[in-house]
Amino acid sequence: MNVMLLAAGEGTRLRPYTEILPKPAIPFLTIPLAAHALSFLRGFTIDTLVVNTFHLPHRIHELFHTLPHKAKALHFSDEVEKILGSGGGLGKAREHFIGGGDFLMMNADEVILSEDADTLKIAMANHKKHKPIATLMVMEHPAVGTQFGGVWTDANGKVLGFGKTALPGSTKGWHFVGAQILSDRVFKYIPLEGESNILYDSLTKALADGETVEIHPFKATWFETGNPKDFLHASEECFKYLFSAEDSYQKKTLIKNLKDFSAKPVSFAKTDHAQVVYTEDAQISPSAKLSGIVTVGSGCVIKDGVELKNVIVGNGATVIENTIASDKIFI
């Protein structure tokens, strides 16, 4: 299978952290967000992996040369003058996909914990059977139509279109989780150059032209990580799974992600005041006071007199003596 990962975004809502690292490289539970996205593809053999870039492209190159993506071939599609969007970015990289049949495109910063580990394989089998131009991975979400746009379907499950407002004839709005299986026929609807959106431009045109777009609903836990508040909330929710006595699918997936993608072994510690996820090579001073949830990545140093509450310390970061911080990410 060939895969396109969208990693060109500027992560404006997650500033100032994305001024240092692009969002796919931001640490989430000690591993980059991109590692969680790659974990959704677990079980597939990736022949060609194409990653587009725009913001801090050298950081994206470094990231994917380091991550164990296991792709047979890795290519970067660098967008230089302007960001091209999901449609335009794919269009620029078309040489890697035209003539190769069906392929998968996904955002490089998604955290998706699927109840069924084979859900993407099932979606791919259905896609090959029915041969739509696209199969969108979707789930139920109460914020569709308010906080998020939706994939709108009629009573028979037929996709009518996309947007934040319900479309005429639609009976349900689904949340698109940023992963989709595409036929290479899609390039007929993507301009040779310029910015465009894969849903609102390309697939909307394809629907109008009589093509079929299908959905694959599945049960999953999906997290919004677009701004610091939501990022920390997502971390808190994942800590609940990791430290729970229940052996949930969320816990199993997260632990496997850490095992597969962490540079060093990851451990868990719980005190009266804190829950800590840390790599075993991190150096944490005995005098440091940790509370709430704290993530400490590989190669980190937390020095004497530090007080941290609800803080993420990224790989290789040093927190200097007597630092007091809360609800923050150190990169």
Domain containing 309 equals: 228-330
Q: At a CB cut-off of 8 Å and minimum separation 6, what does 227 contact?
A: 13, 14
Burial of residue 324 (CB within 10 Å: 0-12, 13-18, 19+) is exposed
Q: At a CB cut-off of 8 Å and minimum separation 6, what does 161 contact?
A: 152, 167, 204, 207
- Same domain? 126 vs 201: yes
- Same domain? 197 vs 280: no
- Same domain? 17 vs 94: yes
Question: How many other C-beta atoms are found inside a 10 Å radius of the C-beta of residue 116?
Answer: 12
Residues above pLDDT 90, as percent of the chain: 94
Q: pLDDT (tens digit, 9 = 90+) per residue, 148-207? A: 999 999 999 999 999 999 999 999 999 999 999 999 999 999 999 999 999 999 999 999
Domain harbouring 316, CATH code: 2.160.10
The pLDDT assigned to 49 comes to 98
- Same domain? 99 vs 192: yes
Q: At a CB cut-off of 8 Å and minimum separation 6, what does 139 contact?
A: 174, 175, 177, 217, 218, 219, 220, 222
The pLDDT assigned to 165 comes to 93
Provide the H-helix boundaries in the chain: 33-39, 57-66, 85-92, 119-130, 204-208, 228-242, 249-261
- Same domain? 8 vs 102: yes
pLDDT band at 104 (very low <50, low <70, confident <90, very high): very high
- Same domain? 54 vs 73: yes
* Residue 283, both tokens: 């150096």
The pLDDT assigned to 216 comes to 98
The pLDDT assigned to 43 comes to 85
The closest of 105, 134, 89 to 4, measured between CA atoms, is 105
Residues above pLDDT 70, as percent of the chain: 100
- For range 290-319, the mean pLDDT: 95
Maximum Cα interatomic distance, the chain, rounded to a whole number of Å? 66
Domain harbouring 213, CATH code: 3.90.550.10
- Same domain? 49 vs 87: yes
Question: Does the pLDDT value for residue 211 go beyond 90?
Answer: yes
Unique residue bearing structure tokens 């801090």: 56
Cis bond leading into 16, ω under 30°? yes
- Same domain? 174 vs 309: no
- Same domain? 163 vs 285: no
Domain termination residue (choose one: 177, 206, 222): 222
- Same domain? 177 vs 236: no
d(CA 152, CA 172): 6
φ, ψ of residue 146 to 5 degrees: the values are: -125, -75
How many Cα atoms are found within 13 Å in the side-chain-facing hemisphere of 126? 17
Number of domains in the chain: 2
Q: pLDDT (tens digit, 9 = 90+) per residue, 14-51? A: 899 999 999 999 999 999 999 999 999 998 999 999 99
Q: pLDDT (tens digit, 9 = 90+) per residue, 120-152? A: 999 999 999 999 999 999 999 999 988 899 999
The identity of residue 304, as a single letter, is D
Burial of residue 290 (CB within 10 Å: 0-12, 13-18, 19+) is buried
Cα angle 47, 51, 52 (rounded to 5 degrees) comes to 145
Domain termination residue (choose one: 206, 222, 238): 222
- Same domain? 244 vs 142: no
Domain termination residue (choose one: 222, 256, 291): 222
Question: Does the pLDDT value for residue 106 go beyond 90?
Answer: yes
- Same domain? 138 vs 277: no
DSSP string, 191-237: -SSS---IIIIIIHHHHHTT--EEEEE--EEE---SSHHHHHHHHHH
d(CA 180, CA 132): 12
The pLDDT assigned to 263 comes to 85
